[in-house]
Amino acid sequence: MLQHLFKFLIAFVVLLYPIAVYFGLQHLQPKTIAIILAALVLLRGFIARSKLIETMKGLWLIVLVVGLLVAGLSFILNSALGLKLYPVIITGSFLAVFGYSLYAPPTIIERFARLQTSELPPEAIPYTTKVTKIWCLFFIINILVSLYTVFFTSVEIWALYNGLISYLLMGLLFIGEWGYRRLVLKQA
C-alpha cells in the first residue's frame, strides 16, 4: 500500500515537474531543488526497477543516471539550467528507446500492442513500426521546442510548454492514433 502511494506521489511530481520547478525557484535556490530532484529520481528508480518490461528498464536506467547528473550539475553550479534541461533529457531518453527499437525489433509500439493482444496479425507489424516512427518524430520536435524554451524564453514560458502544452500534444497524438486505429483500421 505504501509503495503504491509513493508511486502515485512520484508520478504526480514528475508530471508536474516543470510547474514544481517554476514555483520552487520562486522560494528556493536551484541547488535545493536539485537535491529534491535527486531524491525523487532515486526513489522512482528504486520503486520502478522490478515492474518494467525489459526495454523500459533500460530507459529508467538512463533516466536515473541522467537525472542524477542533471541534479548534480544544478547543485554544483547552483543554476536552474540543469533543472530546465531535465524534460529535454527525459524526452531524449524516450527517443533513444523508441528509435533503437526501430533497428532492433520488435518496436516499442509492437511490444505495447502485444501486452494487450499476444497474437498480432502480420499486417499489424508494419503499422506498429509506422506509429513508432511517428512517436520518434514527435519526440524530436518536442526536444527542439523544449530546448528553445530552455535557452530563449522565460521560466514561465518554459514551465507552460514543458508542464502543460507538451503533455497536451502527447495526449492528442495518443488519442489521435487510438481513434485512427479504432475507426479506420477496424473498417479495413
pLDDT tens digits, 99-150 = 999 999 999 999 988 888 878 888 889 999 999 999 999 999 999 999 999 9
d(CA 106, CA 1): 34
pLDDT tens digits, 20-53 = 899 999 999 999 999 988 888 787 777 766 555 4
What is the CA angle 80-90-103, rounded to 5? 150
Distance between start and end Cα atoms, the chain? 45
pTM, to two decimals = 0.84
Which grid cell is 101? 527499437
